[in-house]
Structure 1
Amino acid sequence: MRSLRAPAALLAAGLALALALAPAACARNRFDTRVLAHVGSPGYPALSLVAPDRTIYVGTFTNASGSDTGPSKVFAYSPKGKLLRTYVIKGQTPGSAHGVQVAAIDKRGVLYLLDQNPSRVLRLNPRTGRQSTYGTFFDVPPCVPATPPADCSDTVMDNPPEPDYAAWGTDGAMYVTDYQQAVVWRVPPGGGRAHVWFTDPRLDGSLFGPAGIILMPDHRTLMLDTSAGGATSPPPDSTTGELYKLPILPNGRPGTLTKLWESGPTEGPDGFALARSGNVYMALVGPNVNQLVVISPTGTELARFPTDMSGNNGSPVPFDEPSSVQFDGRRMIVTNDAFFSGDPSHFVIFDVWAGEPGAPVFVPGRKAAGRRYRLTVRPRKTTVGDSRSFRFHATHGGAGLRGALVTFGGTSARTGRHGYATLVVGFEHRGRKTATLTVAGMVVARTHVQVAPESQGD
């Protein structure tokens, strides 16, 4: 038996070494980019959606010449980029330019598409292929003093509707940006005719207005961006895009619009996604920009990829007007719209490594068990006058949460790669002291430390 043990031991050692080296060999650098799939005719992929089972849905959008009068399509891909199914869209306006964006999903897995002609929300069951109209939009006139606010857009031009991106509200309403009418629509719970929920001259980018929209982790604030605006601002402000926060008040009305970040002229901010850390990953679709930009929760620009506007991302296909970003774990799914070039070889979806996980996308009625935020601390007790080192651990769904803000005793620190942060704090008064965990500007978890009175000597 001894003659067998030595080779077996060597084999085991070699296997252990191979397993130890495997993560290093498979490790990806931030922004490592790979072509995940090519998108077939009619092409022009503008927005993707990653379902809970990781199926990736991509719709085909309009082209620059407006000649795409055939039916739009939705393609379903596996996480590895294999084409699983193709859906042909029905009921589109004959002779008009056609395009759809897969903008939302409900708790049953039904998809919600934003159709251009007719201007509507189309419900698509990916299992059966059944399609039905869920909501409708309409052309509203520019606001004038005698016009009821709910029936107008605060714009200079009178443009037709162009529903662009959507986000669910907690009451089941759907909030939809209108790229040309500078409004945020509200489709009532259960569907129906949409109504103008918010409009503002700062959203008026003429033909390039509000685009991406998400509901933030507090479930009370919308984040949205514009590709340009406002139209009445002096140059270059009228050509820059902005990232905004917009609260949903307890009465359901919009709160105060607050600017978080501003792009450069004609960079065309478009679709974006939120990381658990609160960082925003945004596609810039402006002509000859061809970049992704990363923005901190406080509006600081952290990075751009690539660093120039060449579109060279290290893959065989360059960025050619990347138009949207969606998280799939620690990677991003980025669509390559190629709107102006029209190069069919550029109609792809990319797998771009973010190196940090995305924040959950809110869906009404979907259970979030096991996905909550948690903050723990050691030690949990201290004494008045004793300056101590407290080690915090932040998690989300049981996994370490990187880049979140821990605040305790008037000091703050960001969590590291595995969710840990250390703060040195001393207290002058006894009592129960609270530490908070903040993600995307919202407090999502708390923990406590008990401060005992200073011990008295003899």
Structure 2
Amino acid sequence: MRARALAPALALIALLAPSAAPAAPAAPAAPAAARTDGETRVFARVGAPGFPAYVHVHPGNGRVYAATYTNPTGDTMPSRVFEWTAGGTLQRSWTVPGQNRKAARGVQVATSDARGRLVLLEKSRARVLTLNVRNGRFQVQATIPDLPGRGHPMPNYAAWGPDGGLYVTDDGQDVIWRIPAAGGMPRPWSGSKRLAGTEFGTTGIVYEPSRRSFLISQQSTTDPLDLMRGHLYRLPVRADGGPGVLSTLWTSGPLDLPDGFGVARSGNVYVALLGTNQLVRISPAGKVLARFPKRPLSGANGSPVPFDSPSNATFQGTRVLVANQSAILGTTSHHAVLAVEVGERGAPVFIPSRARLR
């Protein structure tokens, strides 16, 4: 998500929310067998420059990766990519090269490719990068074009499609891009007007192989009657590779601001609500099954770190890992990856053998 564009709405939310208690020392984690649905603990703290984005669990080495977004207070630090063990021990980090440090910066570890490289979305220059975690080499794979009259490119989330292409949501231009499996120039794949948002547009994207479709989250639409409600859409991939008809699976409440999400093997979808500091569990039919915590705004989850602009839900075993961004308050002690027990396992990450770029 793009933290700088969220300032007006999140400032309103911050005024409405109760003040969070000071962070207490981390309590020992309960044994896995004793954890209950919704139980939350701190997986890892995130160091400077903070503001962690999407969490990626690497299907090859089992390690956990997240990168950092722009500090809204205006520092000039470059973004970093962090690596933790499956248990949350920090191993390494890398500084992202070539960023425009005078512009809003941010990097998303969106996925990994069939070679095991991390796929990064870099905001300041609208680039798609790969990072080889074996040798630390960054490589520019593509640059998202600036479409006339559509705003400025803002690559946000990405997922591999059935053809091995990389599909990238663009929060700035309300487009889903496709980058060919062999690499090359990004081309607009879907430009449905329904993907446009009022400052807060298209966010997460996940491919469902069993349905041959993408799930796509959106923080809000341009429809004034929507009252800042977000959506979870389903967009089929036609036999010829083009986009099918966009349909609505779920509509959020006002100012929920749905961000990244994860899909369970059962088909349940876990969506981070950046606006109300919650996670929501949605059935395959679009019915809300639960919210963690039940009450919005405070983010009180029983851990030393409350939900504060949670931006994703990535499966690791029977829990989801959540990047706690603190996008508007910028509370350093809240910059963390949180682990929330959900009692079911995630669907395997879809990375086809052709997913290699160049």
TM alignment of 1:4-403, pairs within 5 A: 26-52=33-59, 53-65=61-73, 67-142=74-149, 158-218=150-210, 220-229=212-221, 231=222, 233-235=223-225, 237-286=226-275, 289-309=276-296, 310-365=298-353
How far, CA to CA, are the matches of 1:107 and 1:57 in structure 2?
A: 16
Counterpart residue identity of residue 260, structure 2: G
The structural deviation recorded for 1:366 is 8.4
2:18 corresponding residue in structure 1 = none
1:163 counterpart letter in structure 2: P
Is 1:46–1:59's contact at 8 Å kept on the other side of the alignment?
A: yes
The aligned amino acid for 1:362 is: F
Deviations 1:1-52 (A, max 9, x none): xxxxxxxxxxxxxxxxxxxxxx998321001100011000000001110012
SS, match of residue 34 in structure 1: strand
Mark the CA change 1:91 to 1:329 in structure 2 (over 3 Å): closer, same or farther: same
Superposed CA RMSD:
1.7
How far apart, in 1, do the equivalents of 2:207 and 2:242 lie? 15
Give me the whole-angstrom Cα distance separating, in 2, the residues matched to 1:64 and 1:162: 16
* Structure 1: distance between partners of 2:329 and 2:294: 21
Asked if the contact 2:163–2:354 (Cα under 8 Å) also holds between the matched residues in 1, the reply is no
Provide the secondary structure at the position in 1 that maps to 2:311. Answer: strand
CA distance in 2, matches of 1:224, 1:251: 20
Is this contact kept in 2: 1:115–1:122, CA < 8 A? yes
Give the % identical residues.
Answer: 48
* Partner Cα separation in structure 2 for residue 127 and residue 98 of structure 1: 25
Cα 1:256–1:215 shift into 2, 3 Å: same
Q: RCO (CA 8 Å, sep 6+): is it higher in 1 or 2?
A: 2
1: distance between equivalents of 2:244 and 2:279? Answer: 29
Q: Deviations over 1:196-249 (max 9, x none)?
A: 1111221111321110000013262011010000x1x233x0511100000111
**Cα distance in 2 for residues equivalent to 1:68 and 1:240:** 32
1:57 maps to a residue whose letter is Y
Query: What's 1:414 paired with?
Result: none
- Residues 137 and 161, structure 1, Cα contact 8 Å, conserved in 2: yes
What code does the residue aligned with 1:184 have? I
Contact 2:112–2:119 at 8 Å: present in 1 too? yes
Q: Which amino acid aligns with 2:254?
A: P
Q: How many residues align?
A: 324
The offset of 1:327, in angstroms, is 0.3
Preserved CA contact (<8 Å) 1:180 1:206: no
Bigger fraction of residues in strand? 1
Amino acid at match of 2:350: F
Deviation at 1:273, TM superposition (A): 0.3
Partner-residue secondary structure (3-state), 1:202: helix
SS in 2 for 1:322: coil
**What is the rounded CA distance, in whole Å, between the counterparts of 2:354 and 2:319 in structure 1?**
23
Q: How far apart are 1:363 and its partner, in Å?
A: 0.3
The verdict on how the C-alpha distance between 1:256 and 1:71 changes in structure 2, with shifts beyond 3 A counting, is same
* Cα distance, 1:58 vs structure 2: 0.5
* Secondary structure of residue in 2 paired with 1:193: coil
Distance verdict in 2 for CA 1:57–1:243, change over 3 Å: same
Structure showing greater radius of gyration is: 1
> Residue in 2 aligned with 1:400?
none
In 2, the alpha carbon distance for the partners of 1:245 and 1:294 equals: 16
Contact 1:166 1:176 in 2 (8 A): yes
Please say if residues 68 and 98 of structure 1, whose CA atoms lie closer than 8 Å, have aligned partners that are also in contact.
no
AA matched with 1:290 = N
Partner Cα separation in structure 2 for residue 205 and residue 64 of structure 1: 21
Provide closer, same or farther for how the CA distance between residues 192 and 206 of structure 1 changes in structure 2, counting only shifts above 3 A: farther
Q: Look up the SS of the partner of 2:312 in the other structure.
A: strand
Structure 1 residue aligned with 2:5: none
